[in-house]
Structure 1
Amino acid sequence: MTFEPEQLGQSSQELASMLRDLRQRAGLSGVRLAARCNMSQSKVSRIENGKVRPSLVDVEQILRALKVSSSVVGEVSALARRANTEWRNLRELRRKGLGTRQAELKSLEASSAHMRYFLLSMVTGLLATPEYVRASLAHSPVDTSKAIAGKLERQAVLYDTSKRFTFILTEQAIRWPVVYPLALAEQIDRLSSLSHLPNVDIAVIPLGTPTPRNPLNTFTIYDTSLVTIETSAGSLVLRDGRDIRGYLNEFSGYEDSSLHGEAARAKLAEWSATCRS
């Protein structure tokens, strides 16, 4: 099933109205529908008023309880998929201001307990040195001063020990020459230093390491509620539980293939020394 990018993430209110209309046509009260779905009546009410975005599983339970036709199931399921998937176009992000994007990420990090980052091609801003941050945004056609400040400000969250961070970086992500060799050595040393934080696990996958899947994109998982996938044209946001479970399983496979702890720090030291030589 495919959708036009502009359709994604814009169907929540339409989905809420359709589910409410289907219930009313079936002659069911919110209380009776909730009982059939094994949901609370308040959750049904929040879904129908657009205050809660239902997962695809929620929608399937409601449609089964309402005993709608297969054609209606297909139509509503497609709408639910669009509502749970959002496309962030890079041009639109630049128009709004890259600093706004940093504020959104800061809010996500503040509301999450365990964040998992799979980094395929670059070091993420949370782990980056100031020089690396500036270089990573050097080719942007818009003013990046607020974005740079926002990236550096966000790094304070790493020291919040109530949160847990797991970073998996490929060798390509670590050694890609975003900055000159000596600055890259400093960046690699920073990764090693941050790996000593009690709530931060920095794992590395050296080139040639067999992995259960061939990674295609950088992605971040926030608890078990949201996944963001980065592409060169923008980012995709997934909220459906089945999509999230799929990415959690993929992440777990890369985690099993990674070097952790002292083994990771030894490899980082080797790469840093190569940069300095």
Structure 2
Amino acid sequence: MALEPDELAAASGNLGETLRELRRGAGLSGERLARRCSMSQSKISKIETGRLIPTLVDLDRLLTALEVSPEQAGPVLAKVRAANTEWQGKRELWRKGLETRQHELCFLETSATEAGYFLPTMVTGLLATPAYIRASLTHSPGDVSATVAKKIARQEVLREGPCSFTFLLTEQAVRWAILPPEGMAEQAARLVEVSRLERVRLGVIPLGAVLPRGPRNTFTVYDDRLATVEIFTGRLAFREPLDVGTYRELFAMYEEHALFGDQARERIRSWFEV
């Protein structure tokens, strides 16, 4: 639901004041908070003065960097009625720049303790070879070289940092050919390699597995605080506990039907003879 202009201005100002009070209560300057959440100091200033309403992901970055408890976060989110659900259109993401999106994802991945990725259609960038990443961006406007480089750099989070990762891929996601056979074989070998990392659980759901719910969308859950859902035309983000809980329950259900460890690696090899 959209806010009316006067409500929007009031909500923006109240939210900014509350965030400024939380920052001061944490003993942080705007500059230190900016470093903590990988956001520009000028952007934080605009949010605190009500000149800019933060996106849900931005708000999550700020609350996480401020180490705000769930009890404290509730009133903050209530400052804006639409704060618990957010839509970001694909064109808006392109306008901001694909590199900006990579900064957001990097923060989410490094600030979570557990992240779960349900991948029914394609391999995600954290698991992809450079060739696969570039091929997946052919529909994006402009030169994507910088985005490819940032996606590759982000993969280090699988080896460093506090977060543990679980990836669930359907057979279709693993086998969907966006590269020639040799490129897809390299991508399969990459999945096998990543599946051996200490903080990674990689599961595959073969065709023929009996599932009570169809795999409709790619989605990611970060702890119990945030869920993001991707569709062709953009991305939805949820922070409402009931919504996040629903996606966590779906993830757990799909996880029960996945093959892990040696079984997953053997199945991937059988699909590509690698």
TM-score (norm 2): 0.73
Deviation of 1:103 after TM superposition, in Å, equals: 1.0
Q: Secondary structure at the match of 1:209?
A: coil
- Which residue matches 1:268? 268
Structure 1: gaps of 5 or more residues: 21-41, 43-48, 60-75
Quick one: structure 1 residues 257 and 16, their matched pair in 2 at CA, closer, same or farther if it must change by over 3 Å?
A: farther
* Residue 256 of structure 2 corresponds to residue 256 of structure 1: yes
Question: Which whole-Å deviations, capped at 9, do the CAs of 1:206-237 have from their partners, x for residues lacking one?
Answer: 11111121121000011111111001001001
Q: Secondary structure at the match of 1:271?
A: helix
- Which residue matches 1:67? none
* Residue 151 of structure 2 corresponds to residue 151 of structure 1: yes
Quick one: structure 1 residues 126 and 14, their matched pair in 2 at CA, closer, same or farther if it must change by over 3 Å?
A: same
Question: Which whole-Å deviations, capped at 9, do the CAs of 1:231-256 have from their partners, x for residues lacking one?
Answer: 10010010111111110000000000
The count of residues paired between Structure 1 and Structure 2 equals 226
Picking from 14, 35, 53, the partner of 2:11 is: 14
* Residue 99 of structure 2 corresponds to residue 99 of structure 1: yes
Deviation of 1:162 after TM superposition, in Å, equals: 2.9
Is the 1:99–1:144 Cα contact (8 Å) retained in structure 2?
no
- Which residue matches 1:183? 183
Is the 1:192–1:265 Cα contact (8 Å) retained in structure 2?
yes
* Structure having the higher Rg: 1
Deviation of 1:141 after TM superposition, in Å, equals: 2.0
Question: Which whole-Å deviations, capped at 9, do the CAs of 1:98-144 have from their partners, x for residues lacking one?
Answer: 11111111111111111100001110000000100111112212221
Is the 1:15–1:83 Cα contact (8 Å) retained in structure 2?
no
- Which residue matches 1:125? 125
Is the 1:102–1:150 Cα contact (8 Å) retained in structure 2?
yes
Structure 1: how far apart are the matches of 2:100 and 2:126? 16
Is the 2:110–2:161 Cα contact (8 Å) retained in structure 1?
no
Quick one: structure 1 residues 17 and 141, their matched pair in 2 at CA, closer, same or farther if it must change by over 3 Å?
A: closer
* Residue 237 of structure 2 corresponds to residue 237 of structure 1: yes
Is the 1:115–1:164 Cα contact (8 Å) retained in structure 2?
yes
- Which residue matches 1:109? 109
Q: Secondary structure at the match of 2:151?
A: helix
Quick one: structure 1 residues 13 and 268, their matched pair in 2 at CA, closer, same or farther if it must change by over 3 Å?
A: farther
TM-score (norm 1): 0.73
Is the 1:161–1:198 Cα contact (8 Å) retained in structure 2?
no
One-letter identity of the residue aligned with 2:211? T
Quick one: structure 1 residues 150 and 261, their matched pair in 2 at CA, closer, same or farther if it must change by over 3 Å?
A: same
- Which residue matches 1:200? 200
**Identity of paired residues, percent?**
45
One-letter identity of the residue aligned with 2:111? S
Deviation of 1:15 after TM superposition, in Å, equals: 8.2
User: Structure 1 residue runs of 4+, over 3 Å off?
Assistant: 10-13, 15-18, 49-55
Q: Secondary structure at the match of 1:143?
A: coil
Structure 1: how far apart are the matches of 2:210 and 2:116? 20
Structure 2: gaps of 5 or more residues: 18-24, 26-48, 51-61
Structure 2: how far apart are the matches of 1:254 and 1:13? 42
One-letter identity of the residue aligned with 2:264? A
Quick one: structure 1 residues 13 and 177, their matched pair in 2 at CA, closer, same or farther if it must change by over 3 Å?
A: farther
Q: Secondary structure at the match of 1:184?
A: helix
Q: CA RMSD in A?
A: 3.2
Is the 1:99–1:147 Cα contact (8 Å) retained in structure 2?
yes
Quick one: structure 1 residues 13 and 167, their matched pair in 2 at CA, closer, same or farther if it must change by over 3 Å?
A: farther
- Which residue matches 1:83? 83
One-letter identity of the residue aligned with 1:119? L
Structure 1: how far apart are the matches of 2:92 and 2:109? 22
- Which residue matches 2:134? 134
- Which residue matches 1:211? 211
Is the 1:177–1:184 Cα contact (8 Å) retained in structure 2?
yes
